Structure formats: structure tokens, C-alpha cells
Structure 1
Amino acid sequence: MTAPAVTVRTGMLDCIQANLALLADRWGEPLRHLALGAHLRFRPRPGPDGLPTVDPPPQTHIRQARALIGLVPRHVHHDLEPEALRALSRRTPVVYAVGDTHDMPWLPYAGRARMEHSFLVSGEAGEACVEDAYDNETAWGPARPGRWRLPWEQLPTARTAVEFTAPAAYRAPRPAVALDDPGPYVQAYAAHPDRLTALRRLTSETWLMARARHLHAAYREHRGESPDTHEHLRRWDRLTATAFIALRRAERGRPVPDSLLPDLAAALHADREVFAVRDEQTEPPDPT
């Protein structure tokens, strides 16, 4: 493995955004990727286990790439086996792909956990050159940004594979905020009959929401805005840590803090004031 020289702030990105960010900075300019956080949304949709989720499907990220970071999806392919990915790499400089972490040998999730995850792949001396900017601590060890050369047959099937191009002109998006009432979302987790399942989902949800808020704040700062977000972001970081600890305690049959869901509701309500956008667009375009 080698570590790519990148300007991407990997600790603020989820596993679908991370490699869009690599392309944004590579084909645009350093820190263009921060615009992935221009639109802060809290609009939960139905998710796994009968629980709502704030995690948009990869297709939403791909559709938003043009407006946010200037990447144009020229061709989108589905369900490409490794040999088909290899053929695609012969006619485009780099392929953005989304597959199953279970089948990605460069990740600690390999053989252990299934979730959608992105990577970049190109052909190099008969092998696949995989790049992945994902940065996270996992239950099986750290996942760090890197570049790997692998036999093509070791790659996963790409559920989605995209040939992106960069437009000649790019205009950075204005910050925008759309925050639904958090009550139904929090209540769904409070009422779920399987507490362990709800905590597993909530651990992932708080992780996603904390990163989204850090990214939005970084984009606002990059534009020269200076909303006072530091204490609020620390609050989200504490909430993420509390959710993780609560899950570990529940897995051991120990009681969990009663404050977790009330604290989540309070943080979501506080988002409205902390991230208020004044004198600019306040409603991001609907990604659907």
C-alpha cells in the first residue's frame, strides 16, 4: 500500500463522498471537495430494520456531484464484474465505483461486514490500481487512505461504476440548509422493539451526522464565513462517542445512558440556530 498525496480532509467524509472528493481536488483545485458539504440536510428516509436513516443512496451523491463539485457523470454502468471493470478502465482514465465492503481486500471490513463503499480504479501494468480515501476507525482496525495494486480478479463487483468528466466552468454552490423536525426520527429509535439493533443503527447515524456537520462548517469557513460552530461540533463528537459506548455496553448486557436520545434530539434542534444561513439560499435543491 502507498498513501496518495491528497489535500482531502478525509475525516469529514463518508465512504461514498471520500472518492468523489479525490476527483474533485484532482481535476479542480485543492479543497474543492469541501463543497460536498455545501448543503446540510436532515431529511430522514426509510432505512434498514424499519428505522429511518439520514444516509442517502450512492445515486444521490452521484447526481449531486455536478452542482456541488463540478463532476459530470458521463456514463453510469451497473453490476460490472472485475473483468468488465478492467475493460472499462482501458477507455477511461479512472473509474469511480461502488461495491460491497465484504469483497474489498484493502479494507478491514473484508469478509466481515457488508455495506456500500466507493473506490477509484484504473489499469496499471496489467493490474488494478485502487485508490480509496476513506478514513475511519472500525471494529476490526483502522481504515486509512491509500493506493493498492491488486490482481483484477480480487476486485469486487461494481454495483455502480461511473465515468466522470470535469466541466470547463465551475461555480461553487452557496451554503444551504434544510432541517426537518427531528421528533419522528428520534421517536422511531426510542420505540424500536430491538434495542441492540436500534443502537447499532444509531451509532452509524450519529457518525454520519457528525461528519456532515463538520464538513458543512468547514465549507462555510472556506468561503470566509465564520458561524460559531466549534462548541456545537464538539457536542456532536461527544454524542457520537456516547452512541458507540452505549452500543458496546448493550452488547455486553450492561445498561446504557438514558440521556442518549434526549441529547440527540437537543443537538438536532440546535442545528437550526447554529447553521442558520442568512441572506442566501436556505433550501437546497431536492436531490431526488
Structure 2
Amino acid sequence: MVSTVHSLAFAPCAASLSRVDSPFLDCVSDDLALLLAQAGVDDVRTPFASRWKFCLIEDTEGPPRLNLPSRDQDAWLATRTGFAPSWRDVGGDPAAAVLSWHAELREGRAVLVVGDAFHMPWLPYHRNEHMAHGFVVEGIDPQSREPVLHVVDPYHNATAYGRATPVTVKVGLADIAPALGEGSWAVLDRIGDPTPLDVPHQVATNAEGILAAERDGSFARLLDGHTDLDRDALANLALQVWLLVRDRSLHRLWLVDERAALRRIGLEDLAHRFEADLIPAWRRASEMAYVATRRVQAGRAAPRSVLDAVRAASEQETAVAGWVVESLRSAA
């Protein structure tokens, strides 16, 4: 592939990898956190960790899915940080996209790129599974034959093909081009000043939302959508409860960060309730869903106890939310 750039362009961000909550974020969210850190945002946890929600995406294409990460994440980031990603399609021309990335890097803005993990050599998914995956380009080096991309990937996950851990790697455009054909990319735009988060209001909103999800049947519909326990249903259920383990674990970190504010409203035990009751319940459901998935793959019946584990975790959600609401009422 012919080089389209003629000078080194660099917007370094790898030094901020340790600030990203990689074990608890999906691959695009952790890239956005890294871009926020590179843009000078001091707190890159709160924008991703402060909401505790249970919202379903329900359509005719399969069983219910959780709205995680939330579809309004970009708008939420704009409110909380003053920055929002502006997305563009690669448009089937990776070389032209690289030229645009080069211009952004020269302006000091690292680039978030989403493509097909099957063609990303540094990932366990490489040549194993097609799935959308995001990474960050922090530099482009115009070598003699083709541009070399300096990639930073904060992703952290134990996959079926091995463990993915945060990495920095150099990759030639020809090696990564197959991943980019139908991909997209973004940089952060400054759109205004951030709005400070009202912690007591956010905590109350979170708890009330969980109780509303119980009342409108969202927890029940998640279970009802997976009662067949066939291969597809179990694969989806395993993914949803895995997402919940990571999301609730991240929220607990934020609760620990805000312990002083929680103490002032009588909720100093909230982080402990997550750690002792809620997260272990979802972790048990996740483990059982994984085991059930493996049993079905081996041609055996899935134990229906996996549904009981999900139900028990759902009950912990509403129990903790109910405690929050009652505690706030008592303190008012």
C-alpha cells in the first residue's frame, strides 16, 4: 500500500493507560477514557462509572440485551466532561482515512478507530472471531513503503482465545487495512464546559431507576427472554451478566471515590453493599452462565439453576436500591 503521509505525526497518550479502568469498560469506552485523559480531563472514571442502570434493548432480532454501554454515552460524556466524540466512516478507503488521522494527530488529537477484531494482529480475536473492536492511534510514521500506525489498545478481558491486556504496538497499514473497510473513527471535540455532578442527586436517580426497572418488568423480561436455554439464548445471557459484573464493579469504584459525599447523606455503607452482596450475586450468575454455555456446546442440557442465579442477582439489585431510597427518605 502506497504511503499517503510524509512526516511523523504524534499525539501521545500511552502514558495515561494506567488512568483507564480497563478491566471494567468495553473496548470503545476505554478508548474514550484514554482520549479524555489525553485531552486533559482530570477525572476519567466518573463519566463512565457514576450511573447504575438496568435498561433493556428489545427487538425482534433475538433475546433482550442490556443497554450497556448506554446508547446516550456520547451525550453523557459531553455533559460531564465538555468533550464529545465526532464519528466518521472509514468509507472503504483506509489510506484516505490515515491521511485524515495524520492531520488530527498533527493538531494534537489522538484518534479512536473501530474495525474488525478478526484482522487486528495484537488481539486474541485475530483470525478467530469477527467482532467490532476499538483502539487508539497515537502516532503515524511515514516509512518508505507504507505508514506505520502507533496503536494503543487499553482493552482488558479474558477471552476464549486468550487474555487481552492493554498494549502499545506498531502495525503497518497493509496489515491493519482489512480491519478498517467498514470501520469508523472519531476524535474528541470540545463542545463546552463540563457540568459538575451532584452526587446525592445521582445516587438517588440511580436507585429510583433500578426500582422502576423492577416495577416495569425489565428484570423479569430478561429472564423470560432466555428460558429456552438453547445455545443462542445462553450465549446472550452469558454476555449480559458478564457486562453487569463489570458495570457494577466499576460503579463500586466510583462509590468508594465518593465515600465522603455518601457519608454526609447516610449512605456510607453503599460501596460495601455492592462489594458484599450485589457484585458477588452477578458474578455467581456469570460463572453459572459460562458453565451452562459450555455444557450446551458439549451437547448436554443446561442446568436451569442458571436462571435462579440471575433471578437472585436481580433481587439483590432491587434490595440495594430499596435500601438507598429508604435511607434517603429517613435522612430527609
Give the TM-score normalised by the residue count of structure 1. Answer: 0.84
Structure 1's consecutive aligned runs of 4 or more residues displaced over 6 angstroms after TM superposition are none
Q: Does 1:247 align with 2:247?
A: no
Query: What is the deviation of 1:189?
Result: 0.7
**What CA distance in whole angstroms lies between the structure 1 residues aligned with 2:250 and 2:196?**
15
**What CA distance in whole angstroms lies between the structure 2 residues aligned with 1:106 and 1:46?**
34
> 2:172 maps to which residue?
151
Unaligned runs of 5+ in 1: 280-288
Query: What is the deviation of 1:70?
Result: 3.8
1:82-231 to 2 correspondences below 5 Å: 82-92=94-104, 93-126=109-142, 127-155=148-176, 156-157=179-180, 159-166=183-190, 169-173=193-197, 174=199, 175=202, 176-177=205-206, 178-179=209-210, 180=213, 181=217, 182-191=219-228, 195-224=230-259, 225=262, 226=268, 227=270, 228-231=273-276
Query: What is the deviation of 1:55?
Result: 4.1
**What RMSD over aligned residues (CA atoms) do the two structures have, in Å?**
2.6
Contact 1:45 1:52 in 2 (8 A): yes
Work out which structure has the larger RCO, using CA pairs closer than 8 Å and 6 or more positions apart in sequence: 1
Query: What is the deviation of 1:266?
Result: 2.4
**What CA distance in whole angstroms lies between the structure 1 residues aligned with 2:26 and 2:249?**
12
Does the C-alpha gap of structure 1 residues 34 and 106 become closer, same or farther in structure 2, counting only changes over 3 Å? farther
**What CA distance in whole angstroms lies between the structure 2 residues aligned with 1:223 and 1:166?**
26
Contact 2:23 2:157 in 1 (8 A): yes
Q: Does 1:9 align with 2:27?
A: no
Identity of aligned residues (%): 24
**Greater strand share, 1 or 2?**
1
Query: What is the deviation of 1:24?
Result: 2.5
Does the C-alpha gap of structure 1 residues 172 and 257 become closer, same or farther in structure 2, counting only changes over 3 Å? farther
**Greater helix share, 1 or 2?**
2
1:43-58 to 2 correspondences below 5 Å: 43-46=55-58, 49-56=61-68
> 2:37 maps to which residue?
25
| Per-residue CA distance 1:223-269 (angstroms, 9 max, x = gap) | 22340211221221222111111111211123333211122122123
**What CA distance in whole angstroms lies between the structure 2 residues aligned with 1:132 and 1:154?**
16
- Name which of structure 1's ranges 57-66 and 20-29 shifts more when overlaid on structure 2: 57-66
- Name which of structure 1's ranges 81-90 and 58-67 shifts more when overlaid on structure 2: 58-67
Amino acid corresponding to residue 234 of structure 2 in structure 1: L
Contact 1:104 1:110 in 2 (8 A): yes
Amino acid corresponding to residue 248 of structure 2 in structure 1: R
Query: What is the deviation of 1:122?
Result: 3.4
What is the total number of aligned residue pairs between the two structures? 275
- Name which of structure 1's ranges 139-148 and 251-260 shifts more when overlaid on structure 2: 251-260
Aligned residue for 1:106, secondary structure, equals coil
**What CA distance in whole angstroms lies between the structure 2 residues aligned with 1:253 and 1:45?**
29
Q: Does 1:266 align with 2:312?
A: yes
Query: What is the deviation of 1:275?
Result: 4.2
1:62 to 67, 74, 79: 74
| Per-residue CA distance 1:136-194 (angstroms, 9 max, x = gap) | 011111111111111122222163211203467434434342332311121011146xx
When Rg is computed on C-alpha atoms for both structures, the one with the higher figure is 2
Give the TM-score normalised by the residue count of structure 2. Answer: 0.74
Does the C-alpha gap of structure 1 residues 258 and 58 become closer, same or farther in structure 2, counting only changes over 3 Å? closer
Aligned residue for 1:66, secondary structure, equals helix
